[in-house]
Amino acid sequence: MKTASKQDLVDQLRKTPIIQVACEKMGIARATFYRWKKDDPAFAEQVDFALKEGSQLINDMAESQLISAIRNSNLTAIIFWLKNHHKNYSPKMEVTTKNGDIPLTDEQKELIRRSLDLAFADQLKEEKHEGK
C-alpha cells in the first residue's frame, strides 16, 4: 500500500476539512500531521488554504440543502433563512419604559452595550464578506 504524501493529505483536506477525518482517511497519524505542519511552513500554508477551500465547499453544500429544505416548505429552514438574510426578521432588542424618567439599571445598560457590540460586530463581518 502506498504511503500518503503531504500533498495527498492537502488534497483530502480540500474535500474533508476536518483534520482528524482527513488523517484517518489517508492513514496518517494526527501527531504526524501536526509535526509536518510545525516543521514545514509551506505545508502549513497549503493546509490552511485547503481547510478554507474545504469549508467553503461544505458551506456551499449546506446552503444548497437549506434552499432545498425551503423549497420543500421546511418551516425551520424558512425561519433560519429569514432570520439570517432579511433585516425585518433578524433578532432585535427593544427597550421601553412606561415612564421616561425611570433610568436604566447598570445591568440593563451593560446588556444593551453587549448587544450593540455583537450587532455591530456581525454587521462589520457581513460588510467585509460582501466587500464593502
Which pLDDT does position 127 carry in this prediction? Answer: 65
Which pLDDT does position 111 carry in this prediction? Answer: 85
Which pLDDT does position 126 carry in this prediction? Answer: 66
> pTM above 0.85?
no
Which residue's C-alpha cell is 469549508?
A: 55
> Which residues of the chain have a pLDDT value below 70?
1-3, 93-101, 122-132
Q: Maximum Cα–Cα distance for the chain, whole Å? A: 78
Query: Domain ranges in the chain?
Result: 92-132
Q: At what angle do helices 41-71 and 6-15 cross, to 10 degrees?
A: 20
Which pLDDT does position 86 carry in this prediction? Answer: 85
Q: Are 47 and 10 in contact, with CB atoms under 8 Å apart? A: yes
Which pLDDT does position 44 carry in this prediction? Answer: 96
Which pLDDT does position 1 carry in this prediction? Answer: 46
- Rounded CA-CA distance 108/99 in Å is 16
Q: Which three cell numbers stand for residue 18?
A: 476536518
